[in-house]
Every structure is written in C-alpha cells, then in structure tokens.
Amino acid sequence: MNQSHAIPTDDPLDGDTLHEECGVFGILGHPDAATLTALGLHALQHRGQEAAGIVAFDGKRFYQERHMGLVGDHYTNPMTLARLPGSMSIGHTRYSTTGEVAMRNVQPLFAELEEGGIAIAHNGNFTNGLTLRRQIIATGAICQSTSDTEVVLHLIARSRHASTSDRFIDAIRQMEGGYSMLAMTRTKLIAARDPTGIRPLVMGELDGKPIFCSETCALDIIGAKFIRDVENGEVVICEIQPDGSISIDARKPSKPQPERLCLFEYVYFARPDSVVGGRNVYTTRKNMGMNLAKESPVDGDVVVPVPDGGTPAALGYAQESGIPFEYGIIRNHYVGRTFIEPTQQIRAFGVKLKHSANRAMIEGKRVVLVDDSIVRGTTSLKIVQMIREAGAREVHIRVASPMIFFPDFYGIDTPDAEKLLANQYADVEAMAKYIGADSLAFLSINGLYRAVGGEDRNPARPQFTDHYFTGDYPTRLLDKNGESMGNKLSMLASNG
C-alpha cells in the first residue's frame, strides 16, 4: 500500500485550503465488487484527483487500498484488485476540502468499533466539523486524520444506539453542511444525503445488487441500471440477510426540508453525460449557453469554447446566435483540471500547459470565447492573451454562469472572497479591462435557473444552492461564525 507519508510538523489545520470535490461508489453482494468499484471510481475521476481508495469486505476481514494519485495509476493493476477480495466494497476519489493532501486523509476512512469494522466515504464538507472535532478532542478522542469526515466515525463510536445503522444515523444527524456519504459494515451498505441535498448521490443496480454513486456516469461505465436519486435527507440501508438476499430500508431521519442541489454541479463539476437531479448535465449547459446568447449577444465571426468546461455552453451560444462554432483552443487532455489543483502556482502552470490556440480558426477573426465560469480569472487572463497572440481581431468573453462573489463551505474551491475576480474589480468593464477582453458578460442568475430547472429563481425559496452567486447559504455556518473558532479554521485558510 502507498501509505507512507510525512506527517507535517506544524499544525496542519492552520495551513489548510478549501477545495472541491469527491466521488463515492459502493456496491453490495457482487462477486466483482472491488473491480466494479475501481471502474466506478474511474468514471468519477473528474470529482477528485488527489487520491483514491477502496475498502472491501470478504465476510471475514476488511481490506483497504488507499493511494495518492489517480485511479488509473493504481487500480488497473490486477494485483491491487486481488488484495481487495469480497462481495462488498466502497470507494472514494478525493479532492480535499478539509485536511491536507496526505495519506492519513485519504478515504474511505476505517475504524474498528465495538460491533465490528466500519468504512466511510464522504463527498462534501461539514460546516460544523471543526466545532465537533474540538468537542470530541476535549473529551479525550485521538484523531488520526485532519479530515472533517473522521468526526463521523467518532460520533458513531460514541452513539448509545444498539445497531450500526442507528449509530450512523445518530452521527450524521449531528453533522451540518453538505454530504453524500457511504458507510460499509460487515453486512451493510448505507447511503446518506444531507437534508438539503447539496451534493448528488444516486442508486443503481447491477445483476440485482445495489449500487450507490455520486453520478450516473459511474453506473453507465459498468452497464448498471439507474434506479433513482437518493433523496435529500434520506438514509438507505442495504443489508445482506442470512439467506444471501439483500434487504433495503429507506428512512428520512431528519426534519424534511426542500431539496437545494448545488448549481455548480450543473455549471462545472458533474460530467456532462451524467443525469443529476433528473437533468442531463450536458443539456443544462447547452441551455446556459443559449440563454447567454439571448441575454448578451455580440457581433462575432466564431464562437470558441474554453475546453472542456465551456464546450456545451459554447455550442448552445453558437446555436442560438447563429455564429459558427469552432475549436479555436485545443486542450491537452493529459493535464488535470486546473480549477481543482492545490495551489495558485500549480493552477497557473497547469493552464499554460493545458490550452493551445488553434491559429487557423482564430487569425483575423472576432472571437466569442465561451467559458462555464470565472473564479479567480487565471484561465481567462491567459487565454485572452493567447488568442490575441494567435491573431484574433477582437476577443469577447461570455461566461455561462453569474459572477462569483461568495466563498463556499460545502466543498467548492473558493476559499477567500478577496481572491474571487468579481470582488477585485468595481464592475464588469473593469474586469474585462484586467483580462484584456473587448467585452465581458455573465449569465444572469435567472438565466442560469431557467437553463437548469426551467423557471426563474424563487427568492423566497430558492430551488438550488446558489450562495456563491447570491450569498444565500442553505445551512448555518457554525465553524465560520462560531465564536470559539478563533483563527484556526482549516476550512477558511487562504489558498496559495
């Protein structure tokens, strides 16, 4: 196992950064559980590229493989999969949100409890994780990681309920924030989604065996059938019975709340072929581009996507505006997603490596560049320069989401408000000047809502989680606002 790592000597909670996302996959009762999990994680690679782990159970023992790096770097090796026997397993691709990039934070996390082992895999971020962590440490707990996820294991261990499922439910009911979570015990696979349903989680089935995963693309890769979304606030407990059959028990232990899925799943995170919340992601992105063309038309000769994220929106923009779509930028696919790399220096470096101008499609033209989002402005700044150097006559940027003003505490890599481009300039014109574009326009919040859900935003009860655009956070932010937090908030530390 690739578990050797240097333990930082300074307080790892101080130097931490906030990132996004993770992918989870779990299957119960299938003879090829670990291999299917590895394939599922491969399809969920876009959700986390720092580390990947799988825990399997063969009826007697738990086995774990946890590695830094990509799924393909480790789980294509038959020897690795052979070390994960059994018919049940859960896996995780990590992009850290709380706790540094280190082996001790690689998921699934595992603990030996009174009634046996339990492994958990978490996509999301707890907004009271640090508060609870301090409380349990004050009562004598020894934490093995700096991840927010570990708190759940401690709360399960401390719960006074008899069954593991009830202990798990007791634990997650104490957690606030965003979570789509899988837990695996000796006989059970448990799936849970936070009461607001910020992060996605779906249920599928292969050969009659239940599967849970972050996105439907992980079902498609193994030919599994989509059953349904795990609902917000729902806990689904699948258990192998003594006769080998599997029981499924779905519960809603929390006070019912309206679902508010994260809009950024549609804007950027989810894979375009996934169906999230019943909507094909590609179609919503194309709608975003069409709405953008209606709201912010411009005279141009060619619509060029900033690949990959901007491509469906650029197609929508081109279709609606009638301006031809061309690949004016070629993306090197051997470079990871810059938005989710750990430091500003690496992000900047990554963007240079990643995009090249396709001069033949650009020279002498009025280029309408379409991207899905502007966060720090790193990408736009470099790409406008690159397009101009390739001979563009004019460069107009159209962004298929609104301006981002507010940080996220549910997992997205927008740590400090002052690092967001929208907060650094007085208006769109000033931003355009900084980026070097002839014009710049963003999709309106209603344009985005209509693209995803077909209706305008309901200000009294927003249909989605959209705080990064509006400042309307769907939950309390206890770690951020709690008086006891001082300045040791790992999830708020500056990035890069």
Ligand X SMILES: O=P(O)(O)OC[C@H]1O[C@H](OP(=O)(O)OP(=O)(O)O)[C@H](O)[C@@H]1O
Ligand Y SMILES: NC(=O)CC[C@H](N)C(=O)O
Residue 456 tokens, joined: 């305008």
The stretch among 71-79, 180-188, 369-377, 471-479 that binds ligand X (CB under 6 A) is: 369-377
Q: How far is the CB of 378 from ligand Y (least distance, A)?
A: 20
- Does 300 participate in binding ligand Y (rule CB under 6 A)? no
Helix 378-389 / helix 428-435 crossing angle, nearest 10 deg:
50
Select 21 or 215, whichever has its Cβ closest to ligand Y. 21
Residue among 169, 173, 286, 170 nearest 235 (CA): 169
Nearer to ligand X, 297 or 377 (CB): 377
**Stretch of 121-129, 150-158, 181-189, 221-229 lying at the interface with ligand Y (CB under 6 A):** 121-129
Of 135 and 424, which has the nearer Cβ to ligand X?
424
We find the least distance from the C-beta atom of residue 55 to ligand Y, in angstroms, to be 15
- Which is closer to ligand X, CB of 18 or CB of 56? 18
For ligand Y, the binding residue among 35, 37, 128, 147 (CB under 6 A) is 147
| From 16, 20, 326, 413, residue interacting with ligand Y (rule: CB under 6 A) | 20
Catalytically annotated residue among 22, 217, 238, 262: 22
User: How many beta carbons lie within 10 A of that of residue 147, not counting itself?
Assistant: 28
Cβ-based nearer residue to ligand Y, 48 or 447: 48
Span from 69-77, 111-119, 144-152, 392-400 in contact with ligand Y (CB under 6 A)? 144-152
How would you class 138 by CB atoms within 10 Å of its CB: exposed for 0-12, middle for 13-18, buried for 19 or more?
exposed
Residue 373 C-beta: closest distance to ligand X, Å: 5
SS3 120: strand
Min separation Cβ 287 and ligand Y, Å: 26
Q: CA 493, CA 496: separation in Å to the nearest integer?
A: 10
| Minimum CB–partner distance for residue 334 and ligand X (Å) | 12
Looking only at residues 386 through 415 of this chain, which bind ligand Y when binding is defined by CB under 6 A?
411
Binding partner of residue 286 among ligand Y, ligand X, none, CB cut-off 5 to 8 Å per kind: none
Neighbours of 159 (CB within 10 A): 19
Contact between 122 and ligand Y per CB under 6 A = yes
Task: Rule CB under 6 A: choose which of 375, 387, 422, 435 binds ligand X.
Answer: 375
Residue with tokens 């934490």: 143
Among ligand X, ligand Y, none, what binds residue 150 when CB lies within 5 to 8 Å by partner kind?
A: none
272, interface contact from ligand X, ligand Y, none, CB < 5-8 Å by kind:
none
- Which segments of 127-215 are extended strands (E)? 177-184, 188-193, 202-206, 209-213
User: CB-based contacts of 382: which residues, under 8 Å, 6+ apart?
Assistant: 348, 351, 352, 355
Of the residues 371, 408, 466, 479, which one makes contact with ligand X according to CB under 6 A: 371
Q: Is 268 in the site for ligand X (CB under 6 A)?
A: yes
Contacts made by residues 455-462, CB under 8 angstroms, sequence distance 24+: 461/258, 462/260
The answer to the question of residue 469 lying near ligand Y (CB under 6 A) is no
DSSP state string for 69-82: S-HHHHTT-HHHHH
Residue 137: how many CB atoms within 10 A of its CB?
Answer: 13
22 is catalytic: yes
Report whether 188 contacts 156 (CB < 8 A).
no
Can you tell me whether residue 118 is helix, strand or coil?
Answer: strand
Per CB under 6 A, does 45 bind ligand X? no
Pick from 50, 164, 161: which is nearest to 106 by CA? 50
Residues with a catalytic annotation lie at 22
Residues making contact with ligand Y (CB under 6 A): 20-22, 48, 94-99, 105, 107, 122-125, 147-149, 411
